[in-house]
Amino acid sequence: MEKEFSSYHDLVSYIKNKLYKTKGIILLDHMNAKKRKYIHNLIDNIKNISSFSIGYNSTRRIVIRYDLKEDNIDINELINLGNISYKNKDYINCINIFKKLLANGVINVSFIYAKIGLSYIKLNNSEEALDYLIVANILNKSQNKKFNLDSLINAINSGNLYNEKEVLDMSVEDFSSSFDDFQINNVNEIIDLIITNKNTIKDICSKYNLSDEEINIIKLLIAKNYYTDSYYDIGDRYLKEVEKSKNKSKRVNKLLNEVRKNKLFYKNRNNKLELK
């Protein structure tokens, strides 16, 4: 999306014209950390709107979302209903259900964005599908998922959308990841605050009322991000903090082993690339 905001008023007007109508997401173009911080700060002052970042380094992008925060939301039930709707070809209902999940803070699960995007394609609305598919694709790549939506996104951008049956019929299992089992509200927003040093981990933990288990999960996600970008020293710092923590749950230990493997995978891959 090519869009520049010269003032707070411009940004708010754009959001009201687009986001409030769809109650979905707006994906901004790549920008540096300074600009991202500026946008995040502006969004913080808009009622019922929040933002988070996806991607890495120079390719990091901001996602602006409708922030509803309803009480008594059963996440697992809604995910199940959304998947049933997609399977039954009730694509409008599928979109509405998964947008409700996004509005209530479930923003780190790639298949939710993918299902919304694919539902829009099924409804012959590739323009609305694009941002959701891009977000799903970026989240997939950051979590080493096997699915890749590059060809579908390129087809939409080129105006030559074609039916890739394997992609359009994919299931939740195709996007499965042990990290997706942990529904931490605003997880990407929290990670972005830590990485950009906007707040200390201690401040953030207090603000979001994170449990010890959730804090360890956040630290492991950050370590994984840094390992993916080949910043091993920084990744090691977060990894060691989790290793030294006491009374780790079985789920944290499972993720800890996954991140260790992730580090070895990227280190070995980069070493091979350097030899070429």
Distances (CA, A) of 96 to 78, 101, 104, 261: 10, 9, 12, 37
- Those residues whose C-beta lies under 8 Å from the C-beta of residue 57, and which sit 6 or more positions away, are 229
- Are residues 241 and 253 in contact, defined by beta-carbon separation less than 8 angstroms? no
Indicate the pTM of the whole model.
0.60
Domains along the sequence of the chain with CATH:
8-66 (3.30.1370.50), 75-176 (1.25.40.10), 187-275 (no CATH)
Reference 64, options 122, 111, 3; nearest CA is 3
Reference 75, options 171, 181, 174; nearest CA is 181
**Residue 167's pLDDT is what?**
52
Name the DSSP class of 104: T
- Those residues whose C-beta lies under 8 Å from the C-beta of residue 90, and which sit 6 or more positions away, are none
**Residue 23's pLDDT is what?**
72
Single-letter amino acid, residue 259? V
**Residue 265's pLDDT is what?**
61
What's the rounded Cα separation, in Å, for the pair 209 and 155?
43
Per-residue pLDDT 10s for the chain (276 aa) are: 445 666 667 777 777 777 777 778 988 888 888 888 888 888 888 888 888 888 876 678 889 888 877 777 787 788 888 888 988 889 999 999 999 888 887 787 788 899 999 999 989 888 889 999 999 888 877 665 556 788 888 888 887 775 554 455 555 444 444 444 455 666 767 777 777 766 677 787 788 788 888 888 888 888 887 776 667 888 888 899 999 998 888 878 888 887 887 776 655 544 544 443
- Are residues 248 and 214 in contact, defined by beta-carbon separation less than 8 angstroms? no
What's the rounded Cα separation, in Å, for the pair 93 and 78?
11
What's the rounded Cα separation, in Å, for the pair 141 and 263?
15
Sign (positive or negative) of CA dihedral 103, 139, 21, 39: positive
Phi, then psi, of 159 in degrees rounded to 5: 80, 15
**Residue 134's pLDDT is what?**
93
User: Which ranges constitute the DSSP H helices of 123-231?
Assistant: 126-142, 150-158, 165-168, 187-195, 201-208, 212-228
**Residue 255's pLDDT is what?**
83
